[in-house]
Amino acid sequence: PIHVRSLVGNCLLDEFLFEGTILENITMGRENIQFDNVKWIIENLNLTDFIKGLPQGYNTHVHAQGRPFSRGNIDKLILARALVGKPKLVLVKDGFNTLKDEERTKIFKFLTDRSNHWTLLISTSDEGLSAYVDRTVVVQNQQLIELNK
């Protein structure tokens, strides 16, 4: 049977890297994750040079909460964790504010690329990202203000 949790990839603000290797932080013990999927997501999230620059690459040890990596790289690794299994539903909450504009745009284009067969739900205050999505919903003070197609 398919477990619903395996169909969802989430990248929420309260997630952290844990004590283990880069690879373990991305796959989280999911034995069904192929290394080709790991390489695919690392390339698409612009992490290839970062990982190549680490002393042991994918086997580099990560300290609790990702020390000493930058917040941007931590956020991209958490996003990689959410996407490596190619989920059907991707949930993201403000996962881009630690990235430079050019890199954020590139990642958002990847997330919204129709060749990725997932539904993306993103909660963000960045109105500029609305140009890339099919539908936006504006909520203020727990009230639906606007729905755009």
> How does pLDDT run along the chain (149 residues), one tens digit per residue?
456 555 556 555 567 899 999 999 999 989 999 999 999 999 999 999 999 999 999 999 999 878 789 989 999 999 999 999 999 988 888 767 788 889 988 999 999 999 999 999 888 887 777 888 888 888 888 888 877 76
The answer to whether 93 and 124 are in contact (CB under 8 A) is yes
The answer to whether 81 and 74 are in contact (CB under 8 A) is no
Question: How many angstroms separate the Cα of 76 from the Cα of each of 42, 46, 49, 80, 149?
Answer: 9, 8, 13, 6, 28
The pair of structure tokens assigned to 65 is: 């909460």
Stated pTM of the model: 0.86
For residue 93, which amino acid is it?
K
